[in-house]
Amino acid sequence: MLREKLKQKILSEPTKCIAYLKELVKFNRIYEGEVLAIIMAVIKNGPDQLTNRQWDVLLDKGLLPDLYVECDRCEDTIPWSEMYRAIFIARDYFCPFCRCIVYKKNERLLD
Ligand SMILES: [Zn+2]
């Protein structure tokens, strides 16, 4: 289940996750006050301090389904460091590996 997987991913890679959360805050991608307050608490104190209710808000209203995605092509996880790019910059929802393959294929079409 994606939700439980996401929670484990946050807990197992807190530093990388926090770097992504900082990107979301910095570029004004968090619109809801309650979600923003919880994200700021995670940035400050780490994710293991959250109550069950805060986890519910963070996962269900904060990150899922729009701010945390898995690769559209291989369904592998996208590294935290690539999440912002996949959702907001490239907007392809691809992991770096698949992006590389797809773009190479497209380049070949133009040869
Ligand atoms: Zn992929």
Give the model confidence (pLDDT) of 4-16 as tens digits: 999 999 999 999 9
Distance 99 CA to ligand 1 centre (A): 7
Distance 6 CA to ligand 1 centre (A): 17
Cβ 96 vs Cβ 82: under 8 Å = yes
Q: Report the amino acid identity of residue 40.
A: M
Cβ 66 vs Cβ 87: under 8 Å = yes
Cβ 20 vs Cβ 83: under 8 Å = yes
Helices (H), the chain: 2-12, 14-26, 33-45, 52-56, 80-84, 96-109
Q: Report the amino acid identity of residue 7.
A: K
1 pLDDT above the threshold of 80: no
Give the model confidence (pLDDT) of 19-66 as tens digits: 999 999 999 999 999 999 999 999 999 999 999 999 999 999 999 989
Distance 57 CA to ligand 1 centre (A): 28
Distance 72 CA to ligand 1 centre (A): 7
> Any idea what DSSP says for residue 68?
-
